[in-house]
Amino acid sequence: MGRIFEVRKATMFARYDRMAKQFTRIGKEIAIAVKAGGPDPHTNAALRRCMQNAKSVNMPKDRVEAAIKRAQGKEMENYDEILYEGYGPHGVALLVETATDNHVRTVANVKSHFNKGGGTLGNSGSVAFQFNKMGVFKLNPEGLNAEELELELIDAGLEELGESTDENGKDILVARVAFNDFGNMQKALEEKNITPISAEVEWIPTTTVPVTDEQAEDVSKLIERLEQDDDVQKVFHNMQ
């Protein structure tokens, strides 16, 4: 078991704005999950995952319940999940996950962000081949034997288990599985009474691009611009 490094840059803006953005993102994920599988987390694994992720960012329980209730209303917007691909400055590949109720607005905004940030929005398939779509489960290591857990989770599709830290510098374990094994891993952890800190689908680069500190700052500014867009859910990159 080695150390796992995160590839999705955390947002750089103020804590209040970051929390508000996270709540909005998870609210949209809840809406999509409820529309697809219903409001009962016991029978809707996607909603159960959303609720775990809400807890990981300290989203109040009443806001989660309100989001579930709103998602059941006829007036609730229907969000489509769209992946945009492009290149930032210095040849860094970017994947931009969005959830939108207005495709025209979103593509115009994303294209504008790329242009103003020194990047170029590409066509579908122009960047995604450089990434693997994976399930990423972040676990509290307390009380867990990492080596034993690694062996026990292989049958659930575990590809990598490693140590990392969260944005506050706290130690965590990160388990990665192929996207198709996401449900298997979620079920295996539940059977072991292990509640993940978070369970997300992420794009992990197969290769990375070396950059200087100055170049990384250029790319980070574009990522920050994209992440502050209301329609953008997550941004992934292949900076080394």
pLDDT in tens, 95-109: 999 999 999 999 999
Question: Does CATH number 2.120.10.60 belong to domain 82-128+208-237?
Answer: no
Q: Which fold has domain 8-71?
A: Arc Repressor Mutant, subunit A (1.10.10)
Pick the CATH number of 130-205 from 3.90.870.30, 3.40.50.300, 3.30.70.980, 2.60.40.420: 3.30.70.980
Please report the DSSP string for 131-187 in residue order.
EEEEEEEEE--TT--HHHHHHHTGGGTEEEEEEEE-TTS-EEEEEEEEGGGHHHHHH
Instruction: Say how far apart CA 197 and CA 109 lie, in whole Å.
Output: 32
pLDDT at 17: 61
Average pLDDT over residues 213-220: 94
Q: Judge whether residue 83 has pLDDT over 90.
A: yes
Instruction: Say how far apart CA 102 and CA 99 lie, in whole Å.
Output: 9
Average pLDDT over residues 205-222: 94
Closest C-alpha to 236, from 5, 57, 9, 11 = 9
Q: CB atoms < 10 A from the CB of 145, how many?
A: 10
Instruction: Say how far apart CA 144 and CA 108 lie, in whole Å.
Output: 47
Q: What percent of the chain has pLDDT over 70?
A: 93
Task: Judge whether 82-128+208-237 and 130-205 match in fold.
Answer: yes
Do the Cβ atoms of 189 and 164 come closer than 8 Å?
Answer: no
Average pLDDT over residues 29-36: 94
Sorted by where each begins, the domain ranges of the chain are 8-71, 82-128+208-237, 130-205
Token look-up 């994947």 returns: 95
Do the Cβ atoms of 51 and 41 come closer than 8 Å?
Answer: yes
pTM, two decimals, is: 0.88
Instruction: Say how far apart CA 214 and CA 39 lie, in whole Å.
Output: 46
Q: CB atoms < 10 A from the CB of 70, how many?
A: 15
